[in-house]
Structure 1
Amino acid sequence: MSPPDHRPETRTLLGAQLVFNIGFYAVIPFLAGAMGTEYGLDAAAIGLVLGARTFSQQGMFLFGGLLADRWGPRRAILTGCLVRILGYATLAAASDFPLFLLGAVLTGAGGALFSPALESQLSHADRPPAGGAGGAGRRSVFVWLAITGELGAVLGPVLGTALLGWGFDAALGAGIAVFALVTVLLWFRLPAAPAARARGAGGPGPALGCLRNRRFVLFCLFAGTNMLAYNQLYFTVPVELDRRGLDPAWLGALFLLASVLTLLLQLPVSGLGRRLGPGRALSAGFLVVAAAFAVAALTSVPPGAQESSVLPVMGAVAVLILGHMLLTPTILSLIPVFLPDPGARAGRGAYYGLAATCGGVAVLVGNAGLGILLELTARHHWWPGTPWIPLSLLALLAAAALPVVLRRPGGDRTRAEAPSRTAP
């Protein structure tokens, strides 16, 4: 089959995701250290700044998606780049807590505008021609989105580390330059026509239909378990390393392992998911995630234990990443199926935004509960694997529930991901 007409646009969007991630990861991983060492902020202030950045991004994804539907993806993507540039410039000018907080919020808001619009545009940009195989094109573009995003997550810290010798402001300056490059590239490369069509689609009523779509809300809530699971690389995995008395530098090695696995195996794993079909791929992915947390539970050690091997943690992380690779492209490729017209552009941004927001809520609520459970486990000397059990059970619940949610009364619509109604 010949390449789709939108292939150049797809390459532009994937390149933008790569450069966007490089600019993000060149700065944000080093923000906490810079606020503490260069500017003398205390731990409470640093935690509030980082929390505000995360909340402003995760909490505003639905709003960003609504704007993408109202303005058109091109305008929302460009605005997201400009807002992130403003956020980095504010961080560069900051010397006290209020400006750091404002810069962090602007940085998060830029991501909330950029990501749902880009995903919405990608879901159309690489669609197959009329009469082609429906799901293959859309799923493949999200596979490449995962790969390019991960490559940016690897290259960004390398750039940031190289620039830190000149101070944190040098890293911020590089980030601003990177986002400016993305903005200029997209200004000239992204077509303006989709924006005009999106503006003609109507007001916020149709776009907010995602909130009235109960099947889609259920899908998002269960699929959000994937983001909660991946977020344990930032939360419970460091706790486990600390329990084992391992150097915190091992966490960087685990992130590197996750990146290498993604870059090497994302294509074959997603090929397996395509052969399984969406329902089975979701079940298989969450079963793998549940197995990862079961491994973590069975090999967990109490605080202060003499066990210092990192191999069990590496094994659990590797299995978790395999499940994540199977789940993420499948979840993203299925979102348009829930629209009243899966081939239409109107409302797409809101649907992608709601999915991302539900993932953020899952992380917020799940990590709050896990924090309490970790504290109770340490205080009452419970079995050290206890905090991992709810994570495994949630993954099992998602594995069982999502194939049911995907079914329609008239059969499984998800196999016709791009039916004949696909917009020309």
Structure 2
Amino acid sequence: MSTAPASRARRALADHRVIAVVVAIQLAISLGYYAVMTHVVAHLHHDLGLLAGVVTVVLTVRVAVQNMLFLPAGVLTDTIGPARTGALACVLRAAAFALLGAAEGVGGLLVAVVVMAVGGALFHPAAQSVLAGTAPSHRSRGFSAYVIAGQVGAVAGPPLGLLLLAGGFGLLSAVTTGAWVAGAVLFLLLLHRPAPHPGGSTDRVRPNVRGFAAGVSAVFRDRGFLRFALIAAPSTLLTSQVTTVIPLKEADSGTTTLFFCAVALVTAAIQPWCGRRGDHPRLLRSGLLCAGAGYLVLLATPSDHRSRIAVLLAAAVLHGLAAGIMQSALFQAVARCAPSGRFGAYTGLLSFLSGAFSLAGGFVIAPLFNIGGWGMAAAMTVLGLLAVLSALALPAPEQRKASVLEATGRV
């Protein structure tokens, strides 16, 4: 009679350990990533003497390659297991940052950013697949802690990078390389974790080409999820374009820094609430509407300094809510929809479509930013309306039929 409660207690303890390891990985690599990436443009432009256009091309290559690889990376995660995929991702990212610190020309930089892109495409489905393998009662809160760790890295990473930069960009890249190596070691600790909760990811799938092809085929045959992913695709564009809007709109670096710190703090602060409600199908619609409202509020920025700060902080709160809610809602949507052992493929498809939409949308909106004045107002209006239209068109993702059986333990 006492066997079942004891088994559940052991499983809960194992889930907590898994979540702690993933959160530790996220914190280490986020600190390293933001420490370097905040200062990499200045290094490429001032230290290496590259033209601004060349710097833009180098960084765009990373984004484009990473976006293209999300789907195959997600399927690979299902095929060889998230722990192995995560360790590989961290090793590649470590090599990329080491190359970035040593590169002195465009050729070396392109190799570094391509390797970085491959590692980034592998990391996200791997880490989230591990979390998706925990019990539903732990999954939402685990992902919330994962997001909070990332936001801590986003806030603390840039000043840490500035401190290390006193010893040169080589020292900064070396420390970041060490953080990603530590992430690889922590992922390897997850190889021997207990079997995932039914419906989650697994490390016990044998690698084979047929399994890889089946993963791609399975996600494209799911018409309901494909429709959901297409309508939710603007989410990345809506959360990323504000990083372009604010620096172009506000020349004051102090105000810009305040804005992004406020976004990160709100994103982290909303996570405990999202952890309790992240599986609500309508939560994503709220996040999209917050993003749309954030852009529309920025349209009304007054010239008075005090009023300007108040409006920018209001917009920062809305964008922080949007980012925090959408991350949690999309993770839970994939967890509800993905069949057992297919979380990587499903999140890979969603990330691929979101990344492709963000890249294409950036090229469309960029000319409006260049116009200035009415052009920027038009860009923010387009982004705001896009968020509202996506929210109105968004269907509730269809939960897989097996989930009822899994919830009652009859699988």
**TM-score for the superposition, normalised by structure 1:** 0.84
Distance verdict in 2 for CA 1:407–1:8, change over 3 Å: closer
Q: 2:229 corresponds to which residue?
A: 220
Q: Deviations over 1:137-156 (max 9, x none)?
A: 32222211111111122222
- Which amino acid counterpart does residue 199 of structure 1 have in structure 2? P
Q: Deviations over 1:318-371 (max 9, x none)?
A: 1121122222111101103223x3xx12x2211111111122112112222222
Residue 329 in structure 1 maps to residue 321 in structure 2: no
Q: Note the C-alpha offset of 1:250.
A: 2.3
Alignment root-mean-square deviation, CA: 2.7
The whole-number CA distance in structure 2 between the counterparts of 1:98 and 1:259 is 34
Distance verdict in 2 for CA 1:325–1:415, change over 3 Å: farther
Q: 1:133 corresponds to which residue?
A: none
Q: Is the 1:300–1:384 Cα contact (8 Å) retained in structure 2?
A: no
Please give the secondary structure, in 1, of the residue aligned with 2:347. helix
Unaligned residue ranges in structure 1 (runs of 5+): 129-135
Please give the secondary structure, in 2, of the residue aligned with 1:6. helix
Selected match of 2:204 from 180, 196, 200: 196
Please give the secondary structure, in 1, of the residue aligned with 2:252. coil
Q: Note the C-alpha offset of 1:196.
A: 2.8
Please give the secondary structure, in 2, of the residue aligned with 1:196. coil
Distance verdict in 2 for CA 1:116–1:384, change over 3 Å: closer
Q: 1:293 corresponds to which residue?
A: 295
Query: Matches of residues 24-423 of structure 1 in structure 2 within 5 Å?
Result: 24-124=33-133, 126-128=134-136, 136-191=137-192, 194-197=202-205, 199=207, 202-208=210-216, 209-241=218-250, 246-271=251-276, 273-274=277-278, 278-297=280-299, 299-300=300-301, 308=305, 309-339=308-338, 341=339, 344-345=340-341, 347-375=342-370, 378=372, 382=374, 385-402=377-394, 404-406=395-397, 419-420=407-408
Q: Is the 1:22–1:153 Cα contact (8 Å) retained in structure 2?
A: yes
Q: Deviations over 1:210-231 (max 9, x none)?
A: 1232221222222222211110
- Which amino acid counterpart does residue 262 of structure 1 have in structure 2? T
- Which amino acid counterpart does residue 295 of structure 2 have in structure 1? F
Q: Is the 1:64–1:116 Cα contact (8 Å) retained in structure 2?
A: yes
Q: Note the C-alpha offset of 1:58.
A: 2.2
The whole-number CA distance in structure 1 between the counterparts of 2:81 and 2:358 is 29
The whole-number CA distance in structure 2 between the counterparts of 1:293 and 1:390 is 9
The whole-number CA distance in structure 1 between the counterparts of 2:19 and 2:397 is 27
Q: Is the 1:74–1:195 Cα contact (8 Å) retained in structure 2?
A: yes
Residue 13 in structure 1 maps to residue 22 in structure 2: yes
- Which amino acid counterpart does residue 385 of structure 2 have in structure 1? L
The whole-number CA distance in structure 2 between the counterparts of 1:121 and 1:261 is 25
The whole-number CA distance in structure 1 between the counterparts of 2:328 and 2:109 is 34
The whole-number CA distance in structure 1 between the counterparts of 2:334 and 2:166 is 43
Q: Note the C-alpha offset of 1:416.
A: 5.7
The whole-number CA distance in structure 1 between the counterparts of 2:396 and 2:270 is 28
The whole-number CA distance in structure 1 between the counterparts of 2:233 and 2:167 is 39
Q: Is the 2:79–2:205 Cα contact (8 Å) retained in structure 1?
A: no
Q: Percent identity?
A: 25
Q: Note the C-alpha offset of 1:189.
A: 4.2
Please give the secondary structure, in 2, of the residue aligned with 1:406. coil
Unaligned residue ranges in structure 2 (runs of 5+): 1-7, 196-201
Please give the secondary structure, in 1, of the residue aligned with 2:361. helix
The whole-number CA distance in structure 2 between the counterparts of 1:52 and 1:422 is 47
Q: Note the C-alpha offset of 1:10.
A: 1.8
Q: Is the 1:61–1:354 Cα contact (8 Å) retained in structure 2?
A: yes
Q: Note the C-alpha offset of 1:262.
A: 2.5
The whole-number CA distance in structure 1 between the counterparts of 2:288 and 2:402 is 18
Please give the secondary structure, in 1, of the residue aligned with 2:378. coil
Distance verdict in 2 for CA 1:44–1:373, change over 3 Å: closer
Q: Deviations over 1:93-146 (max 9, x none)?
A: 21111101111111121111111111112101x214xxxxxxx43222221111
The whole-number CA distance in structure 1 between the counterparts of 2:363 and 2:334 is 27
Q: 2:198 corresponds to which residue?
A: none
**TM-score for the superposition, normalised by structure 2:** 0.87
| Count of residue correspondences | 392
- Which amino acid counterpart does residue 118 of structure 1 have in structure 2? A
Q: Is the 1:139–1:330 Cα contact (8 Å) retained in structure 2?
A: no
The whole-number CA distance in structure 1 between the counterparts of 2:401 and 2:301 is 42
Distance verdict in 2 for CA 1:95–1:22, change over 3 Å: same
- Which amino acid counterpart does residue 396 of structure 1 have in structure 2? V
Q: Deviations over 1:389-411 (max 9, x none)?
A: 22122212222222x34257xxx
